[in-house]
Amino acid sequence: MSNSHKEKTLKGLKWSGGGQIVKQVLNISIGIFLARLLSPTEFGLLGMITVFTGFMQLFNDFGFGAALIQKEQIDNKDLNSVFWFNLLTGLVFFMLLFWVSNLIADFYKTPQLVELIRWVALIFILQALTYVQQTLFRKNLDFKTIFLVELFGMLAGGGTALILAYFGFGVYSLIVQLLVNSLITVVSLWLFSSWRPAFEFSVERIKNLLGYSLPLMGSSILGYVLGNLDKLLIGRFLGNQSLGLYSRAYSLMVFPVGQISGVISQVMFPSLAQIQTDKNRIKEIYLKMNRIISFVTFPLMGLGFLLAEPFVLFVLGEQWREMIPLFKIFTFIGALQSIGTLIGNIFMALGEMKLYFKVNLYSGIVFILASIIGLQFGIYGVAISYSIASLFVGIPQWFVTGKLINLDLWDYMKSWLQNGVLTLLVVICIFAVIYFFKVELTVLNSVFVLFSFILFYAILMYFTNRNMVRELRGLK
C-alpha cells in the first residue's frame, strides 16, 4: 500500500472514527431525552414500522453503492444510470408501502400504524436522491464531508423530535425525526457534492453492476432478516410494549458498539478494494483492525454489564426497569458482533459475493430457529437464544474468511483474545466486590466503578499488552 493511499485511509479512518464518536454521543443523548419524554409503547410503534421499512430499504439501493466502490473505473454513465434506477425504485417502494400499510397494521393488530407508515414511506424517495453522492464521497475516502452531512441531519431531526415530544406529539415526534433527518441529508449532500445527474441511462451498465450487487443484496437481505426477525416476532406475539423495551435496549447497548466497528468497516471496504490483489496486506490490516476494535468494545461491554441497573434507572427512568436484564444480555451480543462486522469487508473487497451469500444463508437459518425457540420464553428468552446463536454463527464465518486470506484461526483468535480475557478479569473482580460487599450502585458509586474499571483495565493492558498501545500510536 502506497504512502498516499495509507495516509488517505488513515485520514478517512480518523474522520469516520471521530465523527462516529460525536454522532453516537449525540444519538444516545437525544435517545435518552426522548425516552424520558415518551413511553416504551411509543418506541414500540416505531419499532413495528422500521422492521418492514428497514427491510425494504435493502432494495432501495440494490447494492449499487458497493458495486461502484468495488469497480476500479467508473464514469458518468454508470453514475447516471444508478441515480435514475434508484429514484425509480424509491418511488415504487413509496407507493408499495403506502398501499400495504393496512396489511402491516392488520398483522400487528394495531390500526394506528396505517397513518404512521404512510408518513414514513416518504423516506424512500428522499434517500434515493442521496445514494450516488454518498458513494462518491466514500469511494474517495472523504469521510469528513459524510460526517458533516450526517451531523446536520441528526441535529435537525433530533432537535425537532425533542420539541415535538415535549409538546405532547407522542410517536409522531419519532416519525418527524426520521423525515427531517432525511430531508436535511438530501439538501446537504447536494450542496457539498459537485456531481449532478444527467438524463442518460444504460441498461447494459445496470446489468454489469447487478453481477456484483445482486449477491450482495441477497446477503444484506439475509443479514437484515437474522438481525430483525426477533423484533418482528416480539412485536407480533408479545406486543408493542415488549418490543419497545427490547428495541431500546438493543439501540442503547448493541447498536453503538456495532457503530464503532462500523466506523472502521466503512473505511476498510473502499480501502481494501484498492489493494484487492494483495491478500497478505489485507490479512495484516484485518488483524490490526480487530485488535483495535476489541480493545475498545470489549471493555465497553464489560462496563455495560456492571452498570446496567444504574444506567437504566438513573438515566431513563423507573418505567424502563424491565429493560435491565435485556441490557445485560446484549453486552455479550455486542462483543461478538463488534469483531464480526469486518468479515463482510473481506468478501466484498475480493468480489466473493456468492460465497458471502452462502455464509449468510447459514447464519439466517440459525437465527430464525433461535428466535422461534426463544420466543416461547418471552423477550428474555429471545435475547438469550439470540446470544447463543451469535456464537454458533460466528465460528463458520471466521473459518471461511480465514480461507480467503490465508488466515490461521489461532492468529485470528489472538487478535482479540487477550483484550477479551483482560476485560473478563476486570468484570469478575469488580462484580465480586459489588456482590460480596453488597455495594449499592448509587450515582456516586457508579462513577467510582467506572473509574476503577478504566484504571484496572489500563494497568493490566500496560503490563501485558504494550503492543496495543504502539498500534494505537501508529494511527497518528
- pLDDT digits 0-9 by tens, 343-367: 777 777 777 777 877 887 787 788 8
DSSP 2-32: -HHHHHHHHHHHHHHHHHHHHHHHHHHHHHH
Count of residues for the chain? 476
Asked if 62 contacts 89 with a C-beta cutoff of 8 angstroms, the reply is yes
Rounded to the nearest integer, the mean pLDDT of the chain is 82
Distance from chain centroid for Cα 89:
23
Task: Grade residue 423 by pLDDT with cuts at 50, 70 and 90.
Answer: very high
pLDDT at 152: 93
User: Distance between CA 194 and CA 133 in Å, rounded?
Assistant: 9
Residue-wise pLDDT for 320-341, tens only, equals 888 899 989 988 888 887 877 7
Give the list of residues 6+ apart from residue 388 with CB closer than 8 angstroms, or none.
370
CB 320 within 8 A of CB 310: no
- On whether the CB atoms of residues 227 and 258 are closer than 8 A, the answer is no
Cβ contact 173:34 at 8 Å: yes
Q: What is the pLDDT of residue 307?
A: 93
Query: In which band, very low, low, confident or very high, does the pLDDT at 470 lie, cut at 50, 70 and 90?
Result: low
First to last CA, the chain: 17
Could you give the CA distance from residue 296 to residue 127 in angstroms, rounded to a whole number?
Answer: 32
d(CA 240, CA 46) in angstroms, rounded, equals: 9
Report residue 352 as a C-alpha cell.
466473493
Flag the least confident range among 124-128, 274-278, 319-323, 454-458. 274-278
pLDDT at 377 over 80: yes
Residue type, 100: V
Residue type, 392: F
Q: For residue 425, give the C-alpha cell.
A: 478479569
CB neighbours (10 Å) of residue 6?
12
CB atoms within 10 A of CB 363: 24
- 161 pLDDT exceeds 80? yes
Place of cell 496486506: 281
The C-alpha atoms of residue 322 and residue 246 are separated, in whole angstroms, by: 9
- Tell me the three cell numbers of residue 192: 457539498
Single-letter code of the amino acid located at 448: F
State residue 175's pLDDT score: 94
Q: CA-CA distance, 117 to 171, in Å (whole number)?
A: 12
The span from the CA of 354 to the CA of 219, in Å, is: 9
Q: What is the pLDDT of residues 234-244, one digit of tens each?
A: 888 888 788 88
pLDDT tens-place string over residues 71-111: 767 888 989 998 999 899 899 989 999 999 999 999 888 89
Question: Environment class of residue 426 by beta-carbon count within 10 Å: exposed (0-12), middle (13-18) or buried (19+)?
Answer: buried
d(CA 59, CA 51): 14
Angle at 112 between CA 234 and CA 109, to 5 degrees: 45
pLDDT band at 342 (very low <50, low <70, confident <90, very high): confident
pLDDT score at 235: 83
Burial of 338 (0-12, 13-18, 19+ CB in 10 A): buried
Per the listing, cell 473481506 goes with 346
pLDDT attached to residue 53 = 83
DSSP state of 341: T
What CA–CA distance (Å, rounded) separates 51 from 71?
Answer: 31
Instruction: Yes or no: say if 264 and 14 are a contact pair by the CB < 8 Å rule.
Output: no
For residue 321 the three cell numbers come to: 426497569
- The DSSP code sequence of 17-76 is HHHHHHHHHHHHHHHHHHHHHS-HHHHHHHHHHHHHHHHHHHHHHTTHHHHHHHSS---H
More confidently predicted of 464 and 446: 446
Query: How many C-beta atoms lie closer than 10 Å to residue 372's C-beta?
Result: 14
Share of the chain above pLDDT 90, in %: 25
3-state helix, strand, coil in the chain (%, to 5): 85, 0, 15
Angle, nearest 10°, between helix axes 409-436 and 279-306?
Answer: 10
pLDDT digits (tens, 9 = 90+) for 258-287: 666 666 666 655 656 556 566 777 777 778
Please name which of 394, 255, 397, 432 lies closest in space to residue 334, comparing C-alpha atoms: 255
Alpha helices in 111-202 (DSSP H): 113-120, 122-128, 131-139, 143-166, 171-192
Residue 184, burial from CB neighbour count under 10 angstroms (0-12, 13-18, 19+): buried
pLDDT at 15 over 70: no
Confidence tier at 305 by pLDDT (50, 70, 90): very high
